[in-house]
Amino acid sequence: MSETPELQQSAITTVREFFAALEMDAADEAIELLDPDIVWKNTSLPDVRGVKRVGSLLRGLNRDSLGFRVDMHHIAAESEGHPPTEGQTILTERTDYLRFGPIEFGFWVCGTFELVDGRITLWHDHFSWENLLRGLGVGVVRSLRRPRR
């Protein structure tokens, strides 16, 4: 790890704050919770490595035409009694909602977060492409049914 100071809070709090920052379009606050060598994995997509690349993608969500929110269904920590410097694992079960213009859609995600010294070193999301596409279809239909202003 680099010269980044250790965060003094629980791993679950860090993950919750990470998602809260993303929901509030506060990408820089979310990025502060990441380790410089973060690895972001998504089902069947290429890995994104390093805080500069992950940060660039997260900052790209800070547009009026885009949005993100999450419903956290379950969150659990596993540390096996190790001190935070040896890492903790946080498991999340959630529904992520993405918005592109007038279309918002939700899909189920199971995420694994590994933290060392209070910072997220691994963000690994598992989701079903079928569920994502179904959610997108529902979102498109809902946007077409909304009354125009």
**11 is written with which tokens?**
């791993």
Looking at residue 50, its pLDDT comes to 98
- State pLDDT tens for residues 1-38: 456 666 568 899 999 999 999 999 999 999 999 999 99
Looking at residue 63, its pLDDT comes to 83
Does residue 125 have an active-site annotation?
Answer: yes
Does residue 96 have an active-site annotation?
Answer: yes
- State pLDDT tens for residues 67-117: 999 999 999 987 666 655 567 899 999 999 999 999 999 999 999 999 999
Instruction: Match domain 11-145 to its CATH number in 3.10.450.50, 3.40.50.720, 3.40.640.10, 3.20.20.70.
Output: 3.10.450.50
Looking at residue 20, its pLDDT comes to 97
CA distance 105 to 137: 8
Looking at residue 1, its pLDDT comes to 45
- Per DSSP bridges, beta strands 34-42 and 119-127 are parallel
**135 is written with which tokens?**
């959610």
